């Protein structure tokens, strides 16, 4: 009679599965499977074996999107802000350094105890001499990373990796007013690509740079240009590693991104920072009104902000190599710009590149 009674819930309540839990479990399991497939593809590429392109079906993309990556990314962001005890900092950061091959000798502060939380460690600054800016070439790499693709834009399609494309108009969004960008009005009926080219004889070029988790996470201005406009697309936060980029068509159009547009000495110029899983936070230093990875957004929506005003007719001038923004982890930067036909890239697909090194020149 003195024994305590143990109250148990009915078996039906214990094993009750909610639709949300099913989606998370199924989507998460499938995402893990895709990661394993990506690993196998990377091993084949290292051995020089060409891998045929196999695109995801609509249901596979929908299943991947069912994973609450935006929620997980916000949770990851909050975790990154938690201050670590001094005694725990070195073991945690050392594990990250070993896992992703981080070169701390380039960091402005090499002492791991200096970084109070993971966020500070991810956004670490480099020594001034660690990344000399190339002065001989007109366009430099805005960040550390891996070159996924580059070349001329053709038929309003841009390659995210070899053989997998996305729509130029879907990626950049509708044409911005010509008055704002100081461009002449394109003749009616021209394609979206032709409307971006402002000077006769010029072509439209692109370059895609993937930032891995171990890379330097800040990005800089790739040339001397003026930023006139910012367009923010809320969206998914799927992984943008090369394996997923090869698998999902128009991946960059699905994901959250910040498009900066303006002009340089040869015409149209744009830099787009693409978000990814655990990289919901994209920061542009001169844009205090930008807030990414908000809890709620309308599918397919975007918001515009103009840096042209009555008091500022020129926008935001950027010098080559100047600090522009940062990611919270790793992600992707896409450059789309206008240049004369004799512009040449000094790159190879798949090569590693560092901020300040040459992308191309006339």
Smallest CA-to-CA distance from 168 within 158, 178, 176 is with 158
Could you give the 3-state DSSP secondary structure of residue 102?
coil
Could you give the 3-state DSSP secondary structure of residue 119?
helix
In order of 109, 222, 352, the CA distances from 134 in angstroms are 24, 10, 16
Spatial separation of the C-alpha atoms in residues 133 and 94, rounded to whole Å: 29
Active-site residue identified among 206, 220, 229, 254: 220
Active-site residue identified among 144, 215, 263, 287: 144
**71 phi, psi to nearest 5 deg:** -65, -45
Q: Classify burial at 334, counting beta carbons within 10 Å of its beta carbon; exposed 0-12, middle 13-18, buried 19 or more.
A: buried
Smallest CA-to-CA distance from 190 within 156, 141, 157 is with 156
Annotated catalytic residue 331 = yes
Q: Classify burial at 39, counting beta carbons within 10 Å of its beta carbon; exposed 0-12, middle 13-18, buried 19 or more.
A: exposed
* 283, containing H or E segment: strand 282-284
Q: Do 226 and 328 contact (CB within 8 A), yes or no?
A: no
Spatial separation of the C-alpha atoms in residues 37 and 41, rounded to whole Å: 6
Active-site residue identified among 73, 138, 281, 331: 331
* 317, containing H or E segment: strand 316-318
Could you give the 3-state DSSP secondary structure of residue 272?
strand
* Tokens, residue 172: 């950049």
Annotated catalytic residue 304 = no
* Tokens, residue 36: 């394993």
Annotated catalytic residue 217 = no
What is the 8-class DSSP label of residue 129? Answer: G
Query: Which residues are the active-site residues?
Result: 144, 220, 331
């Amino acid at each position: 009679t003195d024994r305590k009674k143990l109250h148990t819930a009915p078996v039906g309540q214990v094993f009750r599965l909610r639709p949300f839990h099913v989606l998370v479990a199924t989507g998460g399991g499938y995402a893990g499977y895709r990661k394993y497939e990506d690993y196998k593809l990377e091993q084949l590429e290292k051995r020089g074996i060409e891998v045929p392109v196999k695109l995801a079906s609509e249901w596979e993309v929908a299943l991947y999107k069912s994973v609450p990556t935006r929620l997980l990314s916000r949770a990851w962001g909050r975790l990154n802000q938690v201050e670590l005890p001094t005694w725990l900092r070195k073991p945690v950061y050392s594990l990250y350094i070993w896992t992703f091959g981080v070169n701390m000798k380039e960091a402005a502060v090499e002492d791991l105890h200096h970084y109070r939380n993971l966020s500070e460690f991810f956004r670490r600054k480099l020594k001034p001499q660690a990344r000399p800016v190339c002065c001989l070439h007109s366009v430099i790499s805005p960040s550390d990373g891996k070159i996924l693709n580059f070349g001329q834009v053709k038929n309003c399609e841009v390659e995210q990796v070899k053989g997998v494309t996305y729509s130029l108009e879907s990626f950049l969004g509708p044409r911005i007013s010509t008055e704002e960008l100081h461009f002449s009005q394109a003749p009616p009926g021209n394609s979206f690509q032709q409307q971006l080219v402002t000077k006769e004889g010029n072509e439209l070029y692109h370059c895609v740079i993937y930032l891995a988790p171990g890379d330097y996470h800040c990005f800089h201005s790739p040339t001397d240009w003026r930023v006139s406009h910012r367009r923010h697309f809320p969206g998914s936060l799927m992984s943008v590693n090369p394996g997923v980029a090869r698998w999902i068509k128009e991946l960059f159009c699905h994901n959250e991104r910040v498009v900066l547009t303006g002009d340089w000495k040869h015409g149209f110029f744009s830099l787009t920072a693409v978000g990814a899983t655990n990289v919901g936070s994209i920061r542009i230093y001169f844009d205090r009104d930008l807030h990414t990875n908000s809890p709620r957004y309308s599918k397919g929506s975007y918001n515009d902000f103009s840096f042209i005003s009555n008091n500022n007719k020129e926008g935001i001038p950027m010098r080559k190599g100047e600090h522009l923004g940062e990611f919270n982890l790793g992600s992707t930067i896409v450059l789309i710009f206008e240049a004369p036909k004799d512009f040449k890239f000094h790159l190879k697909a798949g090569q590693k590149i560092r901020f300040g090194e040459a992308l191309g020149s006339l």
